[in-house]
Chains A and B, each alone.
Chain A
Amino acid sequence: MTVLYEPPESLTDTVLRYCPGCGHGIAHRLIAEVIDELGVRDHTVTVASVGCSVYAFEYFNTDVVQSAHGRAPAVATGVKRVRPDDVVFTYQGDGDLAAIGLNEVLQAATRAEKISVFFINNAVFGMTGGQMAPTTLLGQKTTTSVDGRTLEHGGYPFNICELMNQIPGVAYLARETLIDPRSVMSARRSIMKAFRAQIDGLGFSLVELVSTCPTWWHMKPLQAMQHVRDTMLIQYPLGVFKDPYAEG
């Protein structure tokens, strides 16, 4: 019998706790596949953060350190400075990265810290019960903006990639999504390039993955995917912002 498709070695066989239709599971799988393909699993250190993905330490089959809410880029910096030959990446939600941890991620990028950051933007705090995040869309209902986010109360949604694009220390920067096979393949290519930029010593890399939270969006999985296409991607347009490997 020929095996056509196997789980990646860089994931453990633990059952994921994510809700059905949640983007975290897809993002995990892609990152793990890329680590396998690069053949770096045995010297990769995962820096897990706080959010629904808090259990990433159970899922990624690499050495893992769990960090405090928002602090993953600082923790990754400490690891990388001690182990410059290891591949170090953080996995962070939008509450983690765009709210409490904004400073750490900006400063790590500014230092051109040779780490990769995977930023899962589902426009909501999932783990704590669907509260408003910096990335929550105007008009979006959350448990702390029950009538929808308004400018008066919540201000504008936060576009991380556009902000990071100003920073010279960022070597690779892209915004991707995970809503169909085509976008998943594109996300995979960006994740690959982000790791390569780190391995080639070019600097900091970040891939934003516009993702779903069917649970707190109160949607069915497919409906959530459609919502990303119709609404999220207008606020968060996809694209590769910086690519040292781009041709031409």
Chain B
Amino acid sequence: MSAEKRALLEGNHATAEGAIAGGCRFFFGYPITPQSQIPQYMSWRLEELGGVYLQAESEVAAINMVYGAAAAGARVMTTSSSPGISLMAEGISYLIGCELPCVIVNMVRGGPGLGNIAPSQGDYWLATRGGGHGDGRPLVFAPYSVQELYDMTGGAFEIAERYRNPVMILGDAVLATMVESCRVRPVPEAPNAYDHSWTLGSGLAGRERRIINSLYSDIADLEALNLRLEARYAEATERETRWEEYGADDPDILVCAYGISARVCETAVDRALEQGIRVRMLRPISLYPFPSAPIAAWAEKVKHCLVVELSMGQFIEDVRLAVEGRCPVSLQNRLGGVLLTPEDVLERLTTIKV
């Protein structure tokens, strides 16, 4: 095996290569901007590696192909963008209900409706509030660089398998299309499929038949599933909650931002620090589980918390729940596909009275 290399990669391609490094050999998808480069790339790359790329007839079919492949024990991924993820909601719920692992990437674009193809974070609720009907949710991770798209997508397969639950990677149109230098691992030659006692097919001989199903006619059984999922999410909260902090050690202001907004805020924080504004940024990397504890801890100490997002106050709800009134929380956002600039955030920071 050759060693780690550096490559200049577009976010979409990094997502695809990351998945491959993570053992993904099955991909079902449907084109939608700004992520069509992922299926395009997978179409030839998986063939080269002896895997399967299949262009589904719709996102509805794609997620159900993922469901079938996951039931049969494959490391499998689908990728889409906002309207496509709406269509997948039922399938995501079934995957959760059947305790099946898979990776779903959402390169979010502006909405509602057909919206536009510009960067947005308007799917925060869609991703973190269930992903589909019923009591359950995907685990959600939000990269902010091409490197993170690569690493997180690859790592997501392990996490999905550990919790037997779908993992969603929440990107956006900027991350999807920007080109950055990326450390690339060697591609494993024989990637692990899920080698679990529950997968279907390839021979009943010597074992009981297996059933993958989310119909629970007995109310007690369904409650048991709900509680089992909840216990898993509690474990994920312990083990998978991830965030990064940046800036002053003794801040007056805490900035909370994730994904592309955090990328913008990083520059704004640098400039604010130069001007003597004591500001610290906390960037949730896992959106579910949410890093409530570190936000609560900072909220005790700072005078103000500024939430920056490209949505109409979706992400701020989780921050407010974490802050629980310990300090004032305010929102800076742009919508409709408009990106905030570091200057916008810096200007806002200079106006906050501390």
Contact = CB atoms under 8 A, between A and B. Distances in A.
Which one of B28, B91, B202 has the greatest number of beta carbons of chain A within 10 Å?
Answer: B202
A149 interface: no
B68 interface: yes
Contacts of A66: 98, 211-215
B60 to A, nearest CB: 7
Contacts of A77: 54, 61, 65, 68
Nearest to A42: B204
B91 to A, nearest CB: 7
A45 B69 CA distance: 12
A88 B210 CA distance: 14
B69 A81 contact: yes
Contacts of A63: 200-201, 204, 209-211
Contact of A75 (B52, B54, B65, B76): B65
A79 B211 contact: no
Contacts of B215: 54-55, 57, 66
A43 B204 contact: yes
A47 B68 contact: yes
Interface in A37-77: 41-43, 45, 47-48, 54-55, 57, 61-68, 71, 74-77
Contacts of B73: 82
Contacts of A79: 68-69, 71-72, 200-201
Contacts of B205: 42
Contacts, number: 131
A189 interface: no
Contact of B56 (A54, A55, A62, A74): A74
Contacts of B36: none
B202 A78 contact: no
A107 interface: yes
A164 to B, nearest CB: 16
B94 interface: yes
B69 A82 contact: yes
**Majority secondary structure, A binding face:** helix
A74 B63 CA distance: 9
A243 interface: no
Contacts of A42: 203-205
A71 B61 contact: yes
Contact of A83 (B72, B213, B214): B72
B117 to A, nearest CB: 25
Interface residues of A, number: 33
B58 interface: yes
Interface string A163-186: 000000000000000000000000
Interface string B124-144: 000000000000000000000
Contacts of A162: none
Nearest to A107: B57
B89 to A, nearest CB: 11
A103 B57 contact: yes
Contacts of A75: 64-65, 67-68, 71
A102 B226 CA distance: 32
A104 interface: yes
B168 interface: no
Contacts of A67: 64, 67-68, 94
Contacts of A74: 56, 60-62, 64-65, 67-68
A78 B69 contact: yes
Contacts of A43: 201-204
Given A54-B215, A78-B28, A78-B76, A83 B91 contact: no
Contact of A64 (B61, B64, B209): B209
Contacts of A48: 213
The 8 closest A-B pairs by CB, nearest first: A78-B68, A74-B64, A42-B204, A78-B69, A83-B201, A82-B72, A78-B65, A75-B68
11 contacts: A45-B72, A57-B213, A66-B211, A68-B94, A75-B68, A75-B71, A77-B65, A79-B68, A79-B201, A81-B69, A104-B61
Interface of A: 41-43, 45, 47-48, 54-55, 57, 61-68, 71, 74-83, 85-86, 103-104, 107
Given A67-B64, A79-B71, A83-B200, 6 more contacts: A42-B203, A64-B209, A78-B64, A78-B65, A78-B67, A82-B72
